[in-house]
Structures are given as structure tokens and as C-alpha cells.
Structure 1
Amino acid sequence: MRSQQQAEHNVKVWNRRNIEISGVKEVDSFDSEEFLLQTSMGYLVVRGQNLQMKNLDLESGIVSIKGKMYEMTYLDEHQGEKAKGLFSKLFK
């Protein structure tokens, strides 16, 4: 059983081609250009080209992605319009 403390969240990037993210609670969606991850620090969007999931271990909260990364963005509550646009795009 997990403790009530917030899971540690880290992002490691090697040469913009390999990404390891810890503290992932859920993978909401992904394709070759965009991953939407729910982390212990909020939603994280990773955008790039030829993105592929290398490893997914939700029990330990680690996701590994390979491909060329262009952008990483956190969607905070004060960015409501941006998040709303992203979710409406996803659920059309």
C-alpha cells in the first residue's frame, strides 16, 4: 500500500532521444507525436517526433519514451484554457 506522501517526480532526458519519467500515475493518451501523462506533480505533455513507449511500469510509476523530443509542458490549474483546448482536441 502506498503512503499518503506525494510520489517523487523526476524527468531524465538523454540527448533528446530517450526520456525516463518517474512519479507517473497514469498514461492518459499517447501517439507518435504526443504523450499525456498524469504525474504526481500534475499533467505532463511530451511532444516530439517518432515517439514510442519503451517501458511502462505504473506500479513503480516509471515511463520510458524514445524518439525526438521537442517540448515538455506541465498543465497546471492556472493554465485552464490550454488544458481545456488539449482535452477537447483529444476527445473529439
Structure 2
Amino acid sequence: MIDPVKTKRQEIKMLNRKLLEISGVLNVESFDSEEFVLETELGFLTIKGQNLHIKNLSLEQGLVVIEGTVNGLTYADAHDKTKSFLGKLFK
């Protein structure tokens, strides 16, 4: 039987590529106007776009709301995140 307490859940709602609501967020790793990196229950999530900014942040509830023009969402596990960071550092 599946234990509902241990079940990971995440919802992503996007409205017209301008408003993004994400649940299941554990931490905001980094952000600027073109890229957000969030640690979520399902791995690291990178959001790319233009004029991105946080409209609402509640890590207690695991909720982040981002406004701006969203161009893409990409998941990576912790190993990929470290590899990507080191790759950028030593380019």
C-alpha cells in the first residue's frame, strides 16, 4: 500500500506563459530575470524566460508564484545540477 505521507506531489499551473504557480518547492537555489533554479520534491526545476520575478514565495507551504514570460521548464536530479554548475564554472 502507498503511504500518502511519503508520496511526492507537485502541481505546476501556467496561465498564458505569464504566471507560473509551482507547489512542492523545497528551496530557491538561484534566480535572476532570465532563470530560476528551484529545488522541488521531484528534483531541480529550471525555469527560463524574460523579466521573471517572484510574485509570491512561501517555503512553509512549498509554493512559489513567478511572473514574466516563461520560455521553458526543465527538470534535473541533484547529480545533473552539480555537473551543470561545474560545467558552467569551468567553461
Which residue of structure 2 aligns with residue 22 of structure 1? 23
Is there any run of 5+ residues in structure 2 with no aligned partner, and where?
A: none
**Structure with greater Cα Rg:** 2
Matches of 2:55 and 2:69, distance apart in 1 = 13
Runs of 4+, deviation exceeding 6 Å:
none
Which residue of structure 1 aligns with residue 62 of structure 2? 61
Larger deviation, residues 6-15 vs 27-36: 6-15
Question: What RMSD in Å do the two structures reach over aligned CA positions?
Answer: 2.4
Larger deviation, residues 43-52 vs 4-13: 4-13
Matches of 1:4 and 1:20, distance apart in 2 = 22
Matches of 2:13 and 2:6, distance apart in 1 = 22
Shift of 1:7: 4.3
Which residue of structure 1 aligns with residue 73 of structure 2? 72
Shift of 1:76: 3.0
Matches of 1:13 and 1:60, distance apart in 2 = 19
Deviation readout 1:21-68 (Å, 9 max, x if unpaired): 000000000000000000000000000000000000000000000000
* Number of equivalences: 86
Is there any run of 5+ residues in structure 1 with no aligned partner, and where?
A: none
Matched, 1:84 2:83: yes
Identity %: 48
After TM superposition, the score normalised by the length of structure 2 is 0.83
Aligned letter for 2:83?
A: K
